[in-house]
Amino acid sequence: MPNRCIKEGDNPDLTKERKTCTFDTDELTANLYGSRNNMERRREITKKISADPDFADPIPHDFLSREKCIEATAKKTKAVVQRGSEFCDVTNYYEMLHLINEAIGIGGYPLALHYGMFLPALEGQAEKELTDDIIPRAKNLEVIGAYAQTEMGHGTNLRELETTATYDKATQEFIINTPTRSAMKWWPGNLGKMSNYAVVTCQLFIDGRKIGPHNFLVQLRCEKTHEPLPGIIVGDIGPKMAFDTNDNGFLALDNIRVPRKNMLMKHAKVSPDGVYTPPMHAKLNYGTMVYVRAHMLYAHGQFLATAAIVATRYSAVRRQGRIEHGVPEVQILDYQTQQHRIFPQIARAYAIIFTYMDIKDQYDAMIKGIAEGQTDLLPDLHAITSGLKSVVTHMAGLGIEQCRMACGGHGYSDASGLPKLYGVQIGGCTYEGENMVMLQQTARYLMKAVASALQGKPLSHSVAYFGKKSSGKSRIGKEGGDIAREHEAMLEALEHAACRLSVEASQMWEKRGRGGETKERAWNGVTVEMNRAARVHTRVFMARSFHRRVTSSPPSIRPVLTDLLSLYLHYECVDMAHHLLEDGFCSGEQIRYLKSRLYEDLTTLRPNAVSLVDSFDQSDRELNSVLGRRDGNVYEALYQWARKSELNYTDVLPAVQKYVMPMMEENRSKL
Ligand X SMILES: CCCCC/C=C/C(=O)SCCNC(=O)CCNC(=O)[C@H](O)C(C)(C)COP(=O)(O)OP(=O)(O)OC[C@H]1O[C@@H](n2cnc3c(N)ncnc32)[C@H](O)[C@@H]1OP(=O)(O)O
Ligand Y SMILES: Cc1cc2nc3c(=O)[nH]c(=O)nc-3n(C[C@H](O)[C@H](O)[C@H](O)COP(=O)(O)OP(=O)(O)OC[C@H]3O[C@@H](n4cnc5c(N)ncnc54)[C@H](O)[C@@H]3O)c2cc1C
- For the annotated binding site for FAD, the residues are 150, 189
644 touches ligand X by CB under 6 A:
no
**What is the rounded CA–CA span in Å between residue 338 and residue 406?**
7
Residues of this chain, 99-138, that bind ligand X according to CB under 6 A: 112, 116
| Of the candidates 294, 376, 245, the residue with the CA atom closest to the CA atom of residue 120 | 294
Q: Residue 289 binds which one of ligand Y, ligand X, none, with CB within 5 to 8 A depending on kind?
A: ligand X
523 touches ligand X by CB under 6 A:
no
434 touches ligand Y by CB under 6 A:
yes
Q: Residue 99 binds which one of ligand X, ligand Y, none, with CB within 5 to 8 A depending on kind?
A: none
Instruction: Give buried/exposed letters for 452-472 (b at 16+ CB in 10 A, else e).
Output: bbeeeeebbebbebbeeeeee
How many residues belong to the chain? 671
283 touches ligand X by CB under 6 A:
yes
Residue 228 DSSP code: B
Residue from 120, 188, 301, 344 that binds ligand Y (CB under 6 A)?
A: 188
Q: Residue 283 binds which one of ligand Y, ligand X, none, with CB within 5 to 8 A depending on kind?
A: ligand X
382 touches ligand X by CB under 6 A:
yes
**What is the rounded CA–CA span in Å between residue 663 and residue 37?**
65
Angle at 95 between CA 93 and CA 97, to 5 degrees: 65
Q: Residue 158 binds which one of ligand X, ligand Y, none, with CB within 5 to 8 A depending on kind?
A: ligand X
250 touches ligand Y by CB under 6 A:
no
CB of 217 to ligand Y, least distance (A): 15
Sort 533 into a burial class: Cβ within 10 Å, 0-12 / 13-18 / 19+.
Answer: buried
147 touches ligand Y by CB under 6 A:
yes
- Over the window 46 to 85, marking each residue x when it contacts ligand Y by CB under 6 A and - when it does not, the resulting string is ----------------------------------------
CB of 475 to ligand X, least distance (A): 35
77 touches ligand X by CB under 6 A:
no
Q: Is residue 164 helix, strand or coil?
A: strand
Axis-axis angle for helices 378-406, 527-551 (nearest 10): 90
Give the nearer residue to ligand Y in terms of CB position, either 447 or 610. 447
Q: Residue 316 binds which one of ligand Y, ligand X, none, with CB within 5 to 8 A depending on kind?
A: none
Q: What are the DSSP calls for 5-57, one per residue? A: T--TTS-HHHHHHHHT--S-HHHHHHHHTSSHHHHHHHHHHHHHHHT-GGG--
**What is the rounded CA–CA span in Å between residue 117 and residue 110?**
13
Give the nearer residue to ligand X in terms of CB position, either 417 or 433. 433
| Of the candidates 215, 635, 577, 199, the residue with the CA atom closest to the CA atom of residue 410 | 635
Q: Residue 215 binds which one of ligand Y, ligand X, none, with CB within 5 to 8 A depending on kind?
A: none
CB-CB contact of 496 with 474 (8 Å):
yes
Give the nearer residue to ligand X in terms of CB position, either 205 or 335. 205
145 touches ligand X by CB under 6 A:
no
Residue from 60, 84, 155, 274 that binds ligand Y (CB under 6 A)?
A: 155
Strand order in the sheet with 249-253: 185-186, 249-253, 232-236
Q: Of 162, 432, 495, 622, which residue is the catalytic one? A: 432
Query: Is 432 designated active site?
Result: yes
CB-CB contact of 163 with 201 (8 Å):
yes
Give the nearer residue to ligand X in terms of CB position, either 155 or 369. 155
CB-CB contact of 590 with 479 (8 Å):
no
Beta bridge partners, 203, equal: 164, 213
Give the nearer residue to ligand Y in terms of CB position, either 194 or 499. 194
237 touches ligand Y by CB under 6 A:
no
> Residues in the site for ligand Y, rule: CB under 6 A?
113, 147-150, 154-156, 187-189, 243, 248, 427, 430-434, 436-437
Catalytic residues: 432
> Residues in the site for ligand X, rule: CB under 6 A?
112, 116, 147, 149-150, 155-159, 189, 283, 286, 289-290, 378-379, 382, 431-433, 437, 441, 444
